[in-house]
Chains A and B, each alone.
Chain A
């Protein structure tokens, strides 16, 4: 049973708020009870004093005895005080020796026919309610003294019960606050521990996301962050492995065939030419790889210069289609292009856009053995779309999010079989994003792949259009 710090703070705050409410409420209830008792006692004593004054006014014989009996019955003390302030008659069980409750100022008021009510504390510490009524025709006053002891005792009892119930309410609140603070703070503590583990390098750490509120979203964000970091770490290692492999392969070929030629280990001139051709092809491949890497790093650093101009995408697509016609024919595929008669011009780099279309078309040819490749230009209200789709081998759904990464290959064995540097799609994505567009891919294994490029029409600032949501198209 360990209380974490955030839970302690949360619990202490709730309890402090509860105590503020409880104490102020307790004080008010105590005041209400005291005032109620006080008023009730005052009314009772004044009523008694009024009755006794009326009885004393009557000159009937035996009225004094009656007052005495009532005084004993009511447990009060009654004093008749003359106009000089001297006690003349004492009645009742309770005898108050201290007569300082008789004040000249009160007598003056009484002689004027006014009544007096006050609280009095005798020299022995006992407290009394004092109610005095004038008896005008006898120029005397009747003082009724009622002890406050019973009221004080009742109030103390009620006060003790209030404190007990306050304590009960506090314990109740403490119990529930303990549960609330534990329940609310536990996910935060778990997140803190998880992020610490992630920071230490344990990137496989995941949080159990149970709610859809802010805490749940935060946990999901931490999970995403850990997943991304893990993926980044894995791909970085893979990237270095890939780049060394991709560079080493052509260099090995160059070294081997150069050695064959140097040591004249060939039989015929034709064989020599074949070796020279391989050296040439591999040097071109190496050159292309270095060029692609250089391009990509320039784009990632934002050092690439784009010649932006108003371009008709019909021309771009047409040029791309014309350039790949030969390859399509060689492979025995069909190539369809559906252009629009008139599409609004877009503000992009024409050459770079052609590079993008060409890259996607070459990929489509590379991974399609039978069937057709279709290029479409679609006009939308806010954007122009270039759609390149094929009937090729397709990409598994779990691989789709990663195909735009450097050197990412769906099947690692495809590298040599299909050619390519593994950087094409990474370059395509970067180029489109730099020009304010976006690219989406939809694919189904064995059915085909569709790439959708979205170029916004109002492309004032390319960086603003980097992610404009997903398209409503798909397989």
Chain B
């Protein structure tokens, strides 16, 4: 993906979070104060699954690569 693609996606995600924050805080008595807190909370909620699934994917792929590397080295030893 090019940098422009990432920027476009980030703008969309950012706009989405802002819309959600506005709708979550506008009925409150002091929306301006709650705005930043809600924005950060929402960002954490959006980011948490990404971090979680990203970590799981990273761990699994690393384990797979290690297993494959071990298998290859065993094959080389065996052939020799």
Contact = CB atoms under 8 A, between A and B. Distances in A.
A210 to B, nearest CB: 10
Contacts of A186: 1
A179 interface: yes
A1 B5 contact: yes
B13 to A, nearest CB: 4
Contact of B16 (A161, A172, A179): A172
The size bracket of the interface on B is: 20 to 34
Interface string B68-80: 1000000000111
B1 A179 contact: yes
A175 B10 contact: yes
B27 A157 contact: yes
Nearest to B11: A175
B44 interface: no
Contacts of B18: 168
B17 interface: yes
A249 to B, nearest CB: 38
Contact of A178 (B12, B68, B80): B12
A171 B13 contact: yes
Contacts of A176: 9, 13
Contacts of A173: 16
B23 A168 contact: yes
A164 B78 contact: no
Contacts of B80: 474-475
B29 to A, nearest CB: 15
Interface string B1-21: 110111011111111111111
Nearest to A211: B61
A175 B64 CA distance: 30
Contacts of A170: 16
Contacts of B34: none
Given A157-B27, A161-B23, A164-B23, A171 B78 contact: no
B20 A165 contact: yes
A162 B23 CA distance: 7
Contact of B5 (A157, A158, A171, A182): A182
A112 B74 CA distance: 94
A165 B23 CA distance: 6
A171 B19 contact: yes
Contacts of B1: 179, 182-183, 186
B26 interface: yes
Contacts of B21: 168
A169 B5 contact: no
Contacts of A1: 2, 4-5, 8
A172 B9 contact: no
A174 B23 contact: no
Nearest to A161: B23
5 contacts: A162-B23, A168-B16, A172-B16, A182-B5, A474-B80
Interface of B: 1-2, 4-6, 8-24, 26-27, 46, 64, 68, 78-80
Q: Which 5 A-B pairs have the closest CB atoms?
A: A168-B19, A172-B16, A175-B12, A171-B16, A175-B13
